[in-house]
Structure 1
Amino acid sequence: MRWGRTYFAVQAIAGAAWWIAVFTFPFVRDVTLGGLNPIVVAAFDIPLFVGASALAALGVRAAAVVSTCWTVVVTIALAGYATVTGEAGWGVVIMAAATAGSALALCLVVVGRIPTDWMIRGPFAFRPAAVRPAAATHVVATFMQIAVFWGLFLVVIPLIAALLEQRWAIAIPLPAFAGPVGVAVLVAASALGIWSAVVMSTLGNGTPLPSAMPNSLVIAGPYRWVRNPMAVSGIVQGVAVGLILSSWLVIVYAIAGSMLWNYAIRPHEEADLERRFGAEFRRYRDAVRCWLPRVPVAPSSP
């Protein structure tokens, strides 16, 4: 709860500082509010955002709910306004970040923790795959998953983000070499992802999907060097797509996805693996890192 209240305190101070800047510097007003009347907006935002955040910092839970709900409403409304007019794009970015922070802080204030377990329920709950005599069945299912997930997370969402970035006038040009570098990195990361998927589906008798997880612990292929090569591949692919599209927003999207996976999904996945494979998984976890390969230490000279 303490961290949640601390966040709302920082948000109240930042919100007050932003409103002072809006009324002091026309540039700030233009890039964050566009043609909206700042007096009208302030009449609602100062009590419902700044004031409610300050009360939430003092421990008033109802104020935390009000501040968070208002932040969500403002973000959606401002995103619609920016998409129609091409104005206030940086305001959308700021409020989107505030929405994410407020939602997490609200969980800490009201629940006392961030309930990540809701993300692994229903079709996303961890369950072993049905045992099939032919590994090819799992390979086919795995590649179908790859087609869907790569199409959505590496094509559809990045293209929408890049288009909005241009429409909202928040694009930051990347160096000319970013595109070719992105293509090379995307090819390498995709190869790692396919290699990891094939190894998992053939040796693990399952798929990467949580609802059809491998029945055997896989420590071959790229899994000898990192515990989550498919996650590494996906994050690097997202960054590479951002370089190709010259979109900082897509790069941030990929990094945010990596943090979501690492802090919200991975602990549950590894707890499930430990329940199913026990000491075998604990030995593997202790020997192989999650993200970076362990560099062998050269023996010292006598």
Structure 2
Amino acid sequence: MNAKQIVTSYLIIQAVATAAWWGLLWFVPSSVGWFQPESWPRQSLLGFWLADSLLLVAGSIVTAIAVVSEKTWASIAIWSLAAAVWYPTFYCIGVSIITDEAWIAASLMVSIAGLTLAMATIHGTPHQSPAAIRATPMSKTSAIVWTFTQTAIFWGVFLWILPMGIIEFQTRTGWPFLAPRFDHAGQTAAAIALFAAASMLGLWSGWTMATYGDGTPLPTATAVKLVVSGPYRFVRNPMAVAGIVQGIAVGWYWGSVAVVAYAIAGGFVWHGFVRPVEEADLSRRFGESYWHYKQHVMLWIPRKFPPRIES
């Protein structure tokens, strides 16, 4: 699929899913309690019906039509939609922070906001590139700033908000395959130590990507140079390794089987869907150099004495 097809498909799905969610809230009154603090009146959430109907449902449909029709104002429409979605998202996150409730709502909103922003960034991706991949030349300073800004956002979303949503979902459902929680001696200290080690690997990987590749880990602003230094000398995807281990550490800290499963599932999703697209782009841009790199450095398992490979 090219960028236009991906963006259009997502926007239609977003409009339909949002409309269906509002149908659930109106026709199944008990469902409202899943998405707001328990002590709040039902009207606190239902009051958003008009804004969501206009901005998310109608806005997504209009933007999808603009994108597929290649209207000149399509870029303005999709960036406006992305900006509009972030307002209720920040509201939901703020509510969860001050009440320690409604993490399911915060998780859903941050997912929608993140995906809508992703659609805005990949809109207009050159057709000769794999969808959602764009190498963006930038100075080392800009690359460092953007890399660590992205890192902070990604950690906040994937290692805090989404796991809290999963834990709240566990608590509410009590379903046997989600409910198991565990607790053992030294759990907190061990989980923190593992998280710290994985975080250091992630930061090292991001620093290397920014300083040697003159780009960021984000596919839509990826490095313009082939990065084979630092942790990339040992495994081809140290940042993915770091993120998966961080997620496992978060689940270990909370004693949540579901969060550990979420982290592992994220690894399978990355391996099956993201990695092939990234590798296709690297093969296209770097050819023989990337092929040679793949022959010497493994995907997940580090080599004890990796050869030094020059880009």
Asked if structure 2 preserves the Cα contact closer than 8 Å seen for 1:185 and 1:237, the reply is yes
2:191 to 182, 186, 193: 182
Matching residue within 138, 142, 161 for 2:143: 138
For 2:216, the equivalent position in structure 1 comes to: 207
Q: Matches of 2:153 and 2:32 in 1, distance apart? A: 31
Equivalents in 1 of 2:268, 2:240: separation in Å? 11
Q: What residue identity is the alignment partner of 1:128?
A: A
Give unpaired runs (5+ residues) of structure 1.
1-68, 85-119, 298-302
Could you tell me the TM-score, scaled by structure 2's length? 0.56
Residue equivalent to 1:123: 121
The CA RMSD over aligned residues, in Å, is: 2.6
1:242 to 2:276 alignment: no
Which of the residues 144, 147, 152 maps onto 1:147? Answer: 152
1:157 paired with 2:162, answer yes
Q: Could you tell me which of 201, 225, 230 is aligned with 2:234?
A: 225
CA deviations on 1:149-194 (whole Å, 9 max, x unpaired) are 1100001011111122123231322323332211000000000000
Post-superposition Cα deviations, 1:259-286, rounded to whole Å, max 9, x if no partner, equal 0000011011001000000000000011
DSSP 3-state at the match of 1:207: coil
Residues 213-236 of structure 1, C-alpha deviation per residue, up to 9 Å, x if partnerless? 101001000000000000000000
Aligned residue pairs: how many?
187
In structure 1, C-alpha distance between the alignment counterparts of 2:305 and 2:149, rounded to whole Å: 37
Q: Distance in 1 between matches of 2:213 and 2:173?
A: 45
After TM superposition, where is structure 1 displaced by more than 3 Å over at least 4 residues in a row? 79-84
Matches of 1:246 and 1:260 in 2, distance apart? 23
What's the counterpart of residue 172 of structure 2?
A: 167
Percent identity over the alignment is 41
Aligned to 1:259: 268
What letter matches 2:276 in structure 1? P
Q: Which runs of 5+ in 2 are unaligned?
A: 1-16, 36-117, 123-131, 307-311
CA distance in 2, matches of 1:121, 1:280: 31
- The answer for the alignment partner of 1:276 in structure 2 is 285
Q: Counterpart of 2:297?
A: 288
Larger Rg: 1
Change (3 A) 1:205 1:288: same
Following the alignment from structure 2 to structure 1, what is the Cα–Cα distance between the partners of residues 254 and 31? Answer: 23
Alpha-carbon deviations, 1:65-87, whole Å to 9, x = none? Answer: xxxx9xx99xx98x959959xxx
Supply the AA of the counterpart residue of 1:176.
Answer: A
Query: Does the 8 A contact of 1:127 with 1:211 survive in 2?
Result: yes
Rounded to whole Å, the distance in 1 between the matches of 2:303 and 2:244 is 19
Q: Which residue of 1 aligns with 2:127?
A: none
Change (3 A) 1:294 1:80: farther
Measure, in 1, the Cα distance between the counterparts of 2:264 and 2:215. 28
- Conserved 8 A contact 1:225-1:288: yes
Specify the code of the residue in structure 1 equivalent to 2:162: I
Alpha-carbon distance in structure 2 between the residues aligned to 1:81 and 1:172: 26
* TM-score calculated relative to the size of structure 1: 0.57
Shift of 1:138: 0.5
1:240 Cα offset (Å)? 0.2
Q: Could you list the per-position Cα deviations for residues 115-162 of structure 1 after superposition, in whole angstroms to 9, with x for gaps in the alignment?
A: xxxxx9763510001x23x31111000011011111000010111111
User: Could you say if the C-alpha distance between residues 285 and 122 of structure 1 is closer, same or farther in structure 2, counting changes exceeding 3 Å?
Assistant: farther
Aligned 8 A contact 1:82 1:168 in 2: no
CA distance in 1, matches of 2:258, 2:237: 25
Shift of 1:249: 0.7
Partner Cα distance (1:280, 1:289) in 2: 15
